[in-house]
Amino acid sequence: MNTLRITLNNRKRFVISAALAAAFVLLAGGANALATTNTVRCVPTASLNPNCTAATTYPTISAALAAPAVLGDVIVVGPGKYPESVTISIPGLSLFGAQAGNDAREDRHDPTKESVVDGTVPGNAPFIVTAPYVVIDGFTVQGGTAGTYPAGIDILAADGTQVLNNIVRNNSAGVYLSGSEAVVIEHNLFKNNSAGTGSYVGYGVYALSSQYLILLR
């Protein structure tokens, strides 16, 4: 059993060789090839995207997933606080928070502009990914201190997952990976992930039996 523990709390960068990074970005890029967009779903208002209608607008992220979402769908989430534990079991989904595309380590100081997914009330990880080629981009992820794997984002046998531009804070661990390959974790800010108890409390990223984990900047 291989265990990789990486502490990224309150640090900006974790650098690997450019050649290795490029190789696995291509592998994880399968998400883009796989995800042929079918429907854009908006949370909580249709005004977030011109492709959204009343029929594709939902009050919560979980409701948008239960619509049901299918491979290739995009879920756009506006600013606000979402007390949810979001389980993503459909491959090739892309979830974009209000700060999608904006590096979490640079000028992300206004909480009113953030899509905050908080796992405190449901008592579980804010995001649980169990399907391959999922993209989570532009959220604040917090309150993951309970559940089976207490962390901000659980990636469980979900190859090619991409975690981009997220503020991951105040969880037991930032990201928990198990049995997942070609995972890209890029441009995130890991901060104060040391709440609760357990063997991986205090780690920005904790990887168990996972290969080809890539952390880019």
* H or E stretch covering 176: strand 175-178
The pLDDT value recorded for residue 198 is 78
* DSSP structure class, residue 117: E
Q: What is the mean pLDDT of residues 154-166?
A: 96
Measured CA to CA, the distance from residue 167 to residue 161 in angstroms comes to: 17
Question: Within 13 Å and on the Cβ side, how many CA atoms surround 87?
Answer: 9
The pLDDT value recorded for residue 215 is 59
The pLDDT value recorded for residue 216 is 54
Is pLDDT above 60 for 119? yes
Q: What is the mean pLDDT of residues 75-86?
A: 98
pLDDT, tens digit, 9 for 90 and up, residues 177-210? 999 988 999 999 999 999 988 788 999 999 887 7
Please measure the distance between the N-terminal and C-terminal CA atoms of the chain and give it in whole angstroms. Answer: 27
pTM of the model: 0.84
**In this prediction, what percent of the chain has a pLDDT beyond 70?**
79
Q: Which residues pair with 76 in a beta bridge?
A: 42, 96
The pLDDT value recorded for residue 214 is 64
Q: Please state, rounded to an integer, the average pLDDT across all residues of the chain.
A: 85
The pLDDT value recorded for residue 23 is 31
pLDDT, tens digit, 9 for 90 and up, residues 1-30? 444 444 444 433 332 233 233 333 333 344
Measured CA to CA, the distance from residue 7 to residue 9 in angstroms comes to: 6
Q: What is the mean pLDDT of residues 110-138?
A: 97
